[in-house]
Chain A
Amino acid sequence: MDEFDSLVNLEQTFYDEGYKDGYAHGRIHGLIEGRELGREKGYEMWEELGYYEGFAGTWRAMLALQGNMDGRATKHIDGLLELIGQFPLINPSVAQAEGGQDLDILKLLRQIRSKHKLLCATLGVRPRVHSADASEGGEEAPGQAATPLSGGAAKKGPVWEVQSSTQSEEGAGRQREPQNQMLSF
């Protein structure tokens, strides 16, 4: 009966071939789309992390300049930089993924965000709100803040001259508002 098999299962054969074709084609498109999504999300995540890293690095340099290296702030800065260091820059290879090295990216991201907020509170600055439609995001120079948040740097007055030009702060984030805007309720 073998000779008739190919005749009898004709529809099935064509169906299978079509299915295989479609699957291969879909896989190609899926990979393209996946890469694009990964690129977009990776960009967003690292945009935020890069901000935190620059922020921490700048403050660390500044504290060193002031000779304030062993306060709480430095400890938090080091902690923050270490957490950021754990965040992967490249996709894990297949072998790594199967080897059970599961890094919970979202949890790490949450920890980094918490640490950043904690660092901001210790330094006495307001964290930049990171979201697509953020409109506020100025930083109050420590010492001008009306509230006595503790932290060595906070008591000594503004760390740098505050002018209304936007060049007054480097690397500490894009400052969008003039310095002395206080939110009023």
Chain B
Amino acid sequence: MAAQGTHEVQPLADLESHSDRAWNLAWNPKHPLIASCSADKTVRLSSYASSSGNTLAPKTVRAVAWSPSGKTLATASFDSNVGIWEQEQDEDEDDEDGDVDMTGQKGLGNGEWECIGTLEGHETECKSVAYSSTGTLLASCSRDKSVWIWEVQPDAEFECMGVLLEHSQDVKCVAWHPHEEILASGSYDDTIKLYVDDPSDDWYCFTTLKGHESTVWSIAWSPCGRYLASASDDKTVRIWAYAAAASDGGADSKNKVLQVKPPSVISSSQGDGRWVQVAVLDSHERSVYSVSWGKGNNGSGLGWLASAGGDGTIRVWDVQESEDSSIALNPKLIASYPEAHGVFDVNCVSWNPRAGMEDVFATAADDGSVKIWRINPSKEAGSD
């Protein structure tokens, strides 16, 4: 089944990266850089426009996230702090060191990366960190069962906006909605919780998604913002959506057609719909550690969902809305690549968010390496 997908996975590069397991990686949204973090206590920045690389050396960092501007990197560290890193401005910014990439945007140059701030507050290891779509909010989560929300202010100042103690166990991952200020978190307690900001300025959990039978390791919103995918220790990837009765045909309660509506901050506080599971993918043979939802370059559809985990196989699914009016989705497996990192668990998979590179993704694994891959239409498939 592996080779018969409509697409194939082509390995592009193997970055020499780390000497111990690589936990997480993040593509810079504006510049040709990848940040990867590892148990070898380094964070490496690898450039794919030039052959340079940079190393930061904080403590063991479990997760990294770029701000939407691409200028700031947040690191979630095992010493319970969140580090904020920016590049020192080079005095001569206009010499050949700054790469100019294909979109004509000035590259980041070769300045040293330094830690311009530390967010303290968590009591134990920080597991994940994420910037909101506008870059004004930063969320972090930790083994101490809490999710913290910080507001980014000028001059590397961060103000704590909320501490959410809703989970009953470690929180493993956080992810912001691509347009709205809605935060999702996944936890060892098998649930996913969604949070929104009440106008009286208090963050609270407005719904809990139950259904996974074990720890939720990773969550990813679809690029359109209507769906949320989650990867779990129970070997499944599930997709969730907010559905409410369709607004037409109002009075007939027997024929309530559920329609997926995009979650908005308003509907989250007072909507009459509910969050439901719309798909369960159970092809993985072991725990799934990471999901990532990219736009894909099919043109139509909801994008490409990539998942990877303990069974070492990368799987890519094409997600389309169904043609009849049911809200269930039936993602098709379009490509898979077994033993992507040999016998090692794959800890993270992530699509390149930059325009023109939607078919490229990267994986980080326990062998310490970060590999880059591309999805190509399969040669055996018919016209696509």
B355 to chain A: closest CB distance in Å?
35
- Least distance between B93 CB and chain A CB atoms (Å): 26
- CB <8 Å contact, A114 and B117: no
Minimal beta-carbon separation of B42 from chain A (angstroms): 16
Of A31-39, A84-92, A147-155, A171-179, the one with at least 4 CB within 8 A of chain B: A147-155
Q: Do the beta carbons of A118 and B120 come within 8 Å of each other?
A: no
Cβ B118 vs Cβ A146 within 8 A: yes
A79: B residues at CB distance < 8 A: 202
Q: Which of B160-188 contact A (CB under 8 A)?
A: 160-166
Number of interface residues, chain B, beta carbon within 8 A: 24
Residues of A within 8 A of B (CB): 72, 75, 79, 110, 113-115, 117-118, 120-122, 126, 129, 145-151, 185
Interfacial chain A residues near B165, Cβ < 8 Å: 110, 113-114
Do A122 and B160 contact each other (CB < 8 Å), given the known contacts A110-B166, A185-B59?
Answer: yes
Q: List 6 A-B contacts (CB under 8 A).
A: A114-B146, A114-B162, A118-B160, A121-B120, A146-B118, A148-B156
| A147/B164 in contact, CB under 8 A | no
Given A126-B120, A147-B119 in contact, is the A118-B162 Cβ separation under 8 Å? yes
Task: Say yes or no: is B153 at the interface (Cβ < 8 Å to chain A).
Answer: yes
User: Which residues of chain B come closer than 8 Å to A114, judged between CB atoms?
Assistant: 146, 162-165
With A and B bound together, what is the CA distance between A115 and B164 in angstroms? 9
**Cα–Cα distance between A126 and B202 once the two chains are bound (Å):** 21
**Contact, CB under 8 Å: A150 / B162:** no
CA distance A114 to B352 in the complex (A): 36
Give CA–CA (A108, B123) in the complex, Å: 21
**Complex contact B153–A149 (CB within 8 A):** no
Cα distance, A117 to B142, chains bound together (Å): 14
Task: State A17–B202 Cα separation when bound (angstroms).
Answer: 58
Whether B118 lies near A147 (C-beta < 8 A) is yes
Report the separation of the CA atoms of residues A146 and B159 in the bound assembly, to the nearest whole angstrom. 16
Determine whether B158 belongs to the interface, using a CB cutoff of 8 Å to chain A. Answer: yes
In angstroms, Cα B115 to Cα A147, docked, is: 11
User: What does the 1/0 interface line of B99-125 toward A look like (CB < 8 Å)?
Assistant: 000000000000000000111110100
**CB of B79 closer than 8 Å to a CB of A:** yes
Given A114-B163, A185-B79, A150 and B158 contact (CB-CB distance below 8 Å): yes
Q: Looking at the complex, which one of B59, B117, B123, B157 makes contact with A129 (CB distance below 8 Å)?
A: B123
Contacts of B146 in A (CB 8 A): 114, 117
Please report the C-alpha to C-alpha distance between residue A106 and residue B162 in the assembled complex, in whole angstroms: 19
Task: Show the binding face of B for A, using Cβ within 8 Å.
Answer: 59, 79, 117-121, 123, 146, 148, 153, 156-166, 201-202
Question: Which of A72, A110, A147, A150 makes the CB contact (< 8 A) with B120?
Answer: A147
Bound-state CA distance A147–B201 (Å) is 25
5 nearest A-B pairs in the assembled complex, by CB-CB distance = A121-B160, A114-B163, A117-B163, A185-B79, A147-B118
A60 to B86, CA, bound (A): 36
A122 and B118 alpha carbons, distance in the complex (Å): 14
A184: nearest chain-B partner, CB-CB: B79
In the bound complex, what is the Cα–Cα distance between A129 and B118 (angstroms)? 20
Q: How far is the CB of B197 from chain A (nearest CB, A)?
A: 13
Contact of B159 among A113, A117, A120, A150 (CB under 8 A): A150
What's the minimum C-beta distance from A56 to chain B, rounded to whole angstroms? 15
CA distance A25 to B176 in the complex (A): 58
A149 close to B123 (CB less than 8 A): no
Q: Which residues of A contact B163 (CB under 8 A)?
A: 114-115, 117-118, 121
| Shortest beta-carbon distance from B254 to chain A in Å | 32
Contacts A147-B117, A148-B157 aside, 7 further interface pairs with beta carbons under 8 A come to: A114-B146, A118-B160, A120-B121, A146-B118, A147-B118, A148-B156, A149-B120
Distance in angstroms between the alpha carbons of A20 and B347 in the assembled complex: 63
> In whole angstroms, what is the CA distance A113 to B157 when docked?
24
Smallest CB-CB separation from A122: which chain B residue?
B160
Query: In the assembled complex, how far is the CB of residue B172 from the closest CB belonging to chain A, in whole angstroms?
Result: 19
* Contact in complex: B118, A150 (CB < 8 Å): no
Q: Counting chain A CB atoms within 10 Å of each CB, which of B123, B153, B159, B160 scores highest?
A: B160
Task: Give the complex CA separation of A147 and B118 in angstroms.
Answer: 6
**Residues of chain A lying within 8 A (CB to CB) of residue B117:** 147-148
What is the bound-complex CA distance between A113 and B145, given in angstroms?
A: 12
Neighbouring B residues of A121 by C-beta, 8 Å: 120-121, 148, 160, 163
